[in-house]
Structure 1
Amino acid sequence: MLDFITSFNDHNLPYPDTIHPIVVHFVIAMVMFAFACDVVGYFTGNAHLFEVSWWNMCVATIAIFIAVIFGQFEAGLAKPYDAVKAVLNMHTLLGWSLSGIIAAITAWRYVLRTRNPDKLPIHYMIAGLFLTLIVGLQVYLGDELVWVYGLHTVPVVEALKNGILR
Structure 2
Amino acid sequence: MFKYLPPLNEHNLPYPDTIHPIVVHFAIAMVLFAVFCDLLGYFTKNSKLYEVSWWNLTFATVSIFIAIIFGQIEAGLAEPYAASVSTLNAHTILGWSLSGILAVVTAWRYVIRLQERPQLPLPYLAASVLLVGLVCIQTYLGSLLVWVYGLHTIPVVEAIRGGIL
Match of residue 140 from structure 2: 140
Match of residue 9 from structure 1: 9
- The letter of the residue matching 1:104 is V
- Contact 1:7 1:14 survives alignment (8 Å): yes
- Correspondence 1:65-76 to 2 at 5 A: 65-76=65-76
Post-superposition CA distance 1:51-78 (Å, at most 9, x none)? 0000000000100000001000000000
Unaligned runs of 5+ in 2: none
Match of residue 43 from structure 1: 43
CA distance in 2, matches of 1:70, 1:117: 37
SS at match of 1:130: helix
TM-score by length of 2: 0.97
- The letter of the residue matching 1:32 is L
Match of residue 87 from structure 1: 87
- Correspondence 1:10-159 to 2 at 5 A: 10-159=10-159
CA distance in 2, matches of 1:35, 1:142: 21
SS at match of 1:6: coil
- Residue 119 (structure 1) shift: 1.7
CA distance in 2, matches of 1:117, 1:10: 53
CA distance in 2, matches of 1:113, 1:69: 29
- The letter of the residue matching 1:94 is L
Identity of aligned residues (%): 62
Between stretches 3-12 and 89-98, larger displacement belongs to: 3-12
- Contact 1:150 1:156 survives alignment (8 Å): yes
Between stretches 4-13 and 65-74, larger displacement belongs to: 4-13
- Residue 159 (structure 1) shift: 0.2
Post-superposition CA distance 1:79-138 (Å, at most 9, x none)? 011110000000000000000000000000000111124320011110010000000000
SS at match of 2:38: helix
Aligned residues: 164
- Residue 4 (structure 1) shift: 7.8
Unaligned runs of 5+ in 1: none
Moved segments of 4+, more than 4 Å: none
- Residue 5 (structure 1) shift: 3.3
CA distance in 1, matches of 2:50, 2:3: 49
CA distance in 1, matches of 2:21, 2:117: 33
